[in-house]
Amino acid sequence: MPRPIRATIDLEALRHNYRIARQKAGQARAYAVVKANAYGHGLDRALQALGDVADGFALLDLAEAREVRAFGLHQPIVLLEGFFEPADLAEVERLQLTPAIHNKAQIKMLEQARLETPIDVLLKVNSGMNRLGFDGERFEAALARLRAIPAVRQITLMTHFPRADEPAGISAPLTTFKHITASAGAGLPLCLANSATLLRFPEAAGQIVRPGIMLYGGSPMPELHSAEKLGLKPVMTLSSEIIGVQQLKAGDAVGYGATFVADGAMRVGVVACGYADGYPRHAPTGTPILVNGRRSRVLGRVSMDMLACDLTHLPEAGVGTPVTLWGDGLPADEVASAAGTISYELFCALARRVPVQIRRARI
């Protein structure tokens, strides 16, 4: 019998979440962000769910783009970090990709390339993130150079808001963006909204939006709005079982480092899930867990292959009792918050050794 841990990927939930993004987008096109192996959910699975409904896709590297095209899909594909060397441009042309242009070196590569088929590009504006893109002093020169390149077809202006998921919102960076682009960039299409912007400020959608975490059932702003309140459904459920039970008395410790010490009689369950499966090692005592659908808590330090949970109030639980680590019935955002991280990291950290079960979409 295989080890009793599995991740269930619900493709219908993924389609449901995309439909919410599409509704929020209004007249804009919604490009599903499937980078990082679709946030750990599996690129091929995301394509199964979204291939016939997504307006386009956004990802990071050429290998991912090849997989999308090999799947038989012809929608636009955005390369969010663009290309990295001149040799990449042959593949960009062949696959008809839309690279983000965020530095002068990329523009020079395009100027020196001899492309037979024009490509669309996204010109990235630095509106305050200070990560990638052209600021106000360099934007107009970059745009002028791109406009002079025969192989460049459509130019779309792009930016990334650093605090769209926080109370501060997008007002300041949006003002900066408009100031930078008001003259030379007037009339060009815009790609502004990630998940947080799309959900909180749909008026800033532009012509292309790029929903990411919301597609996978995570809230981009769990402190403000839970995924459930946003109408999103969990796509990934990580589940396992109790494989051992221990009886503790006052003073007994649990796990490495004895970070949890019982203050009285307790029942402790041992779950077949640890940090080698993708569960966060830094999840502290008190991190929520579901045991047979009922809430409990993690105890002590997470091990490589196991973690402990409190069964004191669950006398019916024992070896073989099902456990949900996150997903259906237990929001990943809540688990992530308890562990001092975000649901993105939980999803992306899912280990290859965890078997995956697919719940098919109704197409």
> Which residues are catalytically annotated?
35, 256
143 vs 24: CA distance, rounded Å: 30
Tokens read off for 82: 């663009």
30 vs 23: CA distance, rounded Å: 9
Alpha-carbon distance values, 128 to 3, 131, 176, 214 (Å): 47, 8, 8, 23
227 vs 225: CA distance, rounded Å: 7
| Dihedral in degrees, nearest 10, Cα atoms 70, 72, 75, 78 | -10
Terminus-to-terminus CA distance in the chain, angstroms?
A: 33
162 vs 270: CA distance, rounded Å: 40
Phi and psi at residue 299, to the nearest 5°: -125, 130
Structural contact between residues 42 and 10, judged by C-beta atoms closer than 8 angstroms? no
Q: Where are the beta strands (DSSP E) in 63-194?
A: 77-79, 98-101, 119-124, 152-158, 190-193
187 vs 154: CA distance, rounded Å: 12
Determine the 3-state secondary structure of 179 from DSSP: helix
Tokens read off for 182: 């008001």
